[in-house]
């Protein structure tokens, strides 16, 4: 039976760290949705422009609107990335300060039982993973899901046969990926199983 201690931490473990930045993250979420909407609106507006060109109708206003939409999408994306990177760096800084303060208050016996390199790794490389989770994990997943849903809906409305072909190709690709994953899983080994014991210098 799997105990709670053996379970890997989920998304709920990040909430205490993100609570201090919830205002900025709310703005980032709104900007992500706005940027996704701008990206989805560009091909639709481009199609309207091409249809009007084919029908020899004026397109000046639509071209200006398309350029404005592209510029607005780029500005929203740049502002979102700036806020997201700043929030991620602030999250890493705050976590490192908390861990450093905790390490400074540990009794000397803890340093005798643990390797110094492990403790430094917690403060250094492990806290850096929080940046990757916030920047490329949380919001990129949400934005990607919105983009896929919006693009699929637009494709279904504009060209149903093309949507069917694309959906079939995606299904085949997912099937191949899952099949390869099940075949590779039995051959996986834990990290470091082929590595030798650490040298004397790495023990401290």
Q: Which residue has the tokens 């709670």?
A: 4
Question: Is residue 203 scored above 70 in pLDDT?
Answer: no
Q: Lowest mean pLDDT of 58-67, 89-98, 185-194, name the range.
A: 185-194
Higher pLDDT, residue 44 or 127: 44
Q: What is the pLDDT of residues 79-123, one digit of tens each?
A: 988 988 888 888 888 888 888 888 888 788 777 787 777 777 777
Higher pLDDT, residue 181 or 41: 41
Higher pLDDT, residue 190 or 72: 72
pTM: 0.64
Q: Please tell me the predicted confidence (pLDDT) of residue 163.
A: 83
Q: Please tell me the predicted confidence (pLDDT) of residue 8.
A: 57
Q: What is the pLDDT of residues 138-187, one digit of tens each?
A: 677 777 787 788 878 877 877 788 888 888 998 898 888 888 777 776 76
Q: Lowest mean pLDDT of 32-36, 52-56, 134-138, 178-182, name the range.
A: 134-138
Q: Do residues 131 and 91 touch, judged by C-beta distance below 8 A?
A: yes
For residues 2-31, give the mean pLDDT. 70
Residue 155: CA atoms inside 13 Å, Cβ hemisphere, count? 13
Instruction: Take residue 180 and report the two structure tokens written for it.
Output: 């390869």
Q: What is the DSSP secondary structure assignment for residue 114, as one 8-state letter?
A: S
Q: Please tell me the predicted confidence (pLDDT) of residue 202.
A: 45
Q: Do residues 24 and 87 touch, judged by C-beta distance below 8 A?
A: yes
Domains of the chain, each with CATH number or no CATH: 18-159 (1.20.1560.10)
Q: Please tell me the predicted confidence (pLDDT) of residue 91.
A: 82
Q: Please tell me the predicted confidence (pLDDT) of residue 1.
A: 42
Q: Please tell me the predicted confidence (pLDDT) of residue 188.
A: 66
d(CA 5, CA 144): 32
d(CA 85, CA 71): 21
Q: Please tell me the predicted confidence (pLDDT) of residue 22.
A: 80
């Amino acid at each position: 039976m799997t105990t709670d201690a053996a379970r890997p931490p989920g998304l709920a473990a990040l909430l205490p760290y993100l609570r201090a930045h919830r205002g900025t993250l709310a703005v980032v979420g709104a900007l992500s949705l706005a940027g996704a909407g701008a990206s989805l609106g560009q091909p639709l507006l481009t199609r309207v422009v091409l249809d009007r060109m084919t029908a020899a109708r004026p397109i000046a206003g639509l071209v200006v609107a398309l350029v404005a939409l592209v510029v607005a999408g780029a500005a929203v994306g740049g502002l979102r990335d700036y806020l997201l990177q700043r929030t991620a760096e602030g999250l890493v800084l705050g976590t490192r300060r908390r861990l450093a303060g905790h390490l400074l208050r540990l009794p000397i016996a803890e340093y005798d039982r643990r390797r110094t390199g492990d403790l430094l790794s917690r403060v250094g490389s492990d806290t850096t993973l929080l940046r990757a989770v916030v920047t490329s994990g949380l919001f990129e997943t949400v934005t990607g899901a919105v983009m896929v849903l919006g693009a699929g809906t637009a494709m279904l409305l504009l060209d149903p046969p093309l949507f069917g072909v694309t959906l079939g190709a995606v299904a085949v690709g997912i099937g191949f990926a899952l099949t390869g994953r099940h075949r590779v899983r039995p051959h996986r080994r834990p990290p470091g199983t082929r590595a030798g014991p650490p040298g004397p210098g790495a023990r401290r």
